[in-house]
Structure 1
């Protein structure tokens, strides 16, 4: 499994079928980048100025909403993941 460093998080992006206003299913090319994902791995946390680490707020299994242009897509063992920083997460879905 991918192990993110410091304040980085690995997400499995939730693909959602999208429909146009007219009821047509949009193709992959016409869709906007998904904004929801499931946390599959978290880094050790932020490194503070004094050298201590502050743990991340999100945990493995959390459903989150993230910024549209956030992170980098990584293909690992044939599956795409998104690696981003915790600051790019907007909310946790409860």
Structure 2
């Protein structure tokens, strides 16, 4: 990708939602809610404090994040639908927890 956000902004690609409900009912595209989870594609260099010092962003490309339902601005870049939002609009990073079986 040739796009790099400015300041404390990040570019996020929404992850696809579920096609079926927990009960097994197939949900049509028109009834699906927009997912609030996405993958960070690109990050800016960071914001500046009152003294002009650069404050780096705590996200990196590849992070899976949660964000608000109405956060960000939807744009289309290189044929991809992306969200551009400030780092402060991201609620958190989703870490995958590896489950290991205990020995009996």
Q: TM-score, normalised by structure 1?
A: 0.90
**1:53 CA displacement:** 1.1
Q: Point out the more displaced range, 82-91 or 14-23.
A: 14-23
Unaligned runs of 5+ in 2: 96-104
SS at match of 2:60: coil
Structure with the higher fraction of residues in strand conformation: 1
Q: Deviations over 1:40-65 (max 9, x none)?
A: 10011111111111001111111111
Residue 42 of structure 2 corresponds to residue 41 of structure 1? yes
Query: Quick one: distance in 2 between partners of 1:32 and 1:8?
Result: 24
Residue aligning to 1:74: 75
**1:12 CA displacement:** 1.4
Paired residues of 2:17 and 2:32 also in contact (CA < 8 A): no
Bigger radius of gyration: 2
Paired residues of 1:15 and 1:34 also in contact (CA < 8 A): yes
Q: TM-score, normalised by structure 2?
A: 0.82
Paired residues of 2:17 and 2:34 also in contact (CA < 8 A): no
Unaligned runs of 5+ in 1: none
Size of the alignment, in residue pairs?
94
Q: Deviations over 1:1-47 (max 9, x none)?
A: 22101010001111122434653222222111111111110011111
SS at match of 2:3: coil
**1:88 CA displacement:** 1.0
